[in-house]
Every structure is written in structure tokens, then in C-alpha cells.
Amino acid sequence: MSYYRELGLDREPFSTSPDPAFFFLSEEHKAALYRLQVAISLKRGLCVLLGDVGTGKTTLGRKLSQALAADEQVVLRMILNPYFATEKQFLSRMANLFHVKVSSRATALQIMEAIERFLFRCGVEEGKTVVLLIDEAQILPDFVFETLRILLNYETNEFKMLQLILSGQMELLPRISSKNNFWDRISLKCILNPLKESEIKKMLEFRLRQAGYTGSTPLFTDEAISQITIHTQGYPRKLAFFCHSCLESLVMYDRRVVTVDLVKKLIEAEVRQVEEVAAADPEPASPAQAVPAQEPVHERQTPDMTPVSSAVHPDDIDEQLAAAMAAIASVGGAEAPKKTRLERWMEFVGIPG
């Protein structure tokens, strides 16, 4: 018997698969979903969805696809692995997704022209909305951005014929901002942040109810949720992994509620595993290669496309920028101006406003 049935559940509540049925819409996710739907309905063209690893971008894309599926006037296709070796390979994939018939010997230009005819027929003559959503867009090759820019040029006097959504990690931001003729075409920019503690509590309750839990007693105490918030930093994917371990432990130790003591034991076990793996490493990194513990290394690119390795986490960047602005304000006697996280990121990577 599966562990979740021992807890009175019908399904696994904390799967990390992007199932829209288990996607908790925080205020931020709800706003992003609504704004994307509005932009698509108005045929605004290019939208960009940004967020750190595990903030729910892929699942939000699935939720959007599900929301638009009932509308017969919307034709939405998704590219989940956007690495392409050539322009022709990308265009062939796009043509295949939208069932555009082209010869196997067709050139990239011929495929582009076939897609243009499809967009005109579908978007203008039939009055439908054609949507292409590209996930993990931060790994797109440079030539694809130029191809997409050309496709975005297909428009009538009233609307864009292709609605394009790029969903990616924060590394995508400096890449697209360095391309002025691409950056200027963005009609909507959304950024997803980790969940707050109050939202985490609601998320756990939502997922458990979706999985069939009908008990009146919460499976997680408030103290346990506070500790989980600190440990996972509010990232939905980390929350799913860790809460899955919590429920497994309930069954293993014949408990009924996840307490703060149980959470601390699981955290200690995780830390122990990391330390054991590090101790068993036969070839420890040299001082020049060493990376501080629990400091994720992000590969990002500055606007001049020079690769930069950074061990700074986005949340740390927010804190550092806020502290720096406060220090400057204290010297000048003025209050530090409030900026959105997107503006602070742009400032950090050297992108002009």
C-alpha cells in the first residue's frame, strides 16, 4: 500500500511533476496567470515569465495551457526543451508543432515562409489566436532569438499574428536585454518569487485537500511550517520534496502529525547526507575551485554576453541592494527609493532602465 493511503489520501499530494490540479496559485502566480491571459487575448505579441529554479514557471505554463484549452479559437503549443543546433531545426520543430506541412528538403527560408502563411491563414482568415510557449528559454541559442524576432514582425494593423511566451530562469534577463530590437518588443514581463510562510500554509492545505484529505486536524503544525519555510526558503519544488519526506516519516514512525521536532530531524538527516558525500569525495576541490557550502553557483551572462560565474543567490542580491540603497539614503538624509525585484535585478546585471 502506498504511504499516502495510510494517511487517508487518495493521491500523492507532493509530487514534483507539473500537475495543474495541484498547482497552488499564490497572489503572485494568480496575477501572472491573469496578465498572461489578458496579453494573449489582446494579441500583444511577446511576453516574458522569469523566476528562479523551482518557483513554478513550468507548472504555471501548464496551468495556462489548461485554462486556454477550452477555447477553440486558441491554438497553443509548447516547447519544453528548447535547445536547437540550427535555425532549420528550430523552424522544423515549430512547423511540426503547428502541423505546417513542409518538405524534408525545404530550406530554413522556405519553412519560415510556410509558417508565415500558416499564421496569416490561422490568425487572420480564421480569426484564431496562435500561441507558442517556450520553457527553459534561458538555454535558447542566440540565432533563435533573431528568428523569433522576425516571426514577431508578422502582424496586421491591429495585432500580432504570433503570441510568444518565453519562460525562463533569471539568466534569461541579461541575454534578452542586450538585444535592443528584441527587448523593445516585450509587452509583458512577470517575475515569480518564492512563497511566504502564510502562502506555504495555504499551499500545504490545498495540496492535501486535492489529494483527498478530509480530516479536521492539520497534518502540519504551525511551528513545523515555520521551520519548513526557513529550510526551503519558500521554493515550491523544494517544498514538495521536503513535505513528501515529512509524510513518509509519519507512516514510518507511526505518527499522525508533522511536528517541528520531526522537521528538525529530517533537516539534520539531510545535512548529514551532504557532509558524508563531501567527506567521501576522493578529490576535494582546490582552494581556487572551492565553493562555499549551500551557496548555489549561477551561470549568467552580462549584457555584453561575457559569461560570468556568480555564487550570489537572487535573494542575497535583493538584501545587498536594499542595504546599499539604505546606506546611501542615510548619508544623504533621504529615503531610499523602493524598486521592484525586476528593477533591482536589471540594476545588478548592468541593464539600463
Average pLDDT over residues 34-56: 96
Average pLDDT over residues 246-253: 92
pLDDT in tens, 71-93: 999 999 999 999 999 999 999 99
pLDDT over 60 at 5, yes or no = yes
Average pLDDT over residues 222-240: 96
Specify the amino acid at residue 135. Answer: D
pLDDT over 70 at 64, yes or no = yes
pLDDT for 260: 96
pLDDT over 80 at 226, yes or no = yes
Q: Which CATH number fits domain 3-15+195-279: 3.40.50, 1.10.8, 1.20.120, 1.10.3470?
A: 1.10.8
pLDDT for 161: 97
- Domains of the chain by residue range: 3-15+195-279, 27-192, 310-348
Q: Which value, to the nearest 10 degrees, does the dihedral of the CA atoms of residues 302, 305, 308, 311 take? A: 50
pLDDT for 274: 83
pTM value is 0.77
pLDDT for 317: 45
Average pLDDT over residues 19-33: 93
pLDDT over 60 at 288, yes or no = no
The domain defined by 27-192 folds into Rossmann fold (3.40.50)
**Which residue has better confidence, 78 or 309?**
78
pLDDT over 90 at 61, yes or no = yes
C-alpha to C-alpha distance for 31 and 49, rounded to whole angstroms: 12
Average pLDDT over residues 16-29: 92
pLDDT in tens, 257-281: 999 999 999 999 988 888 888 887 7
pLDDT in tens, 100-124: 999 999 999 999 999 999 999 999 9
Using pLDDT thresholds of 50, 70 and 90, give the confidence band for residue 344: low
Residue among 149, 254, 239, 233 nearest 203 (CA): 239
Using pLDDT thresholds of 50, 70 and 90, give the confidence band for residue 225: very high
Average pLDDT over residues 327-343: 50
Average pLDDT over residues 1-9: 78
Specify the amino acid at residue 200. Answer: I
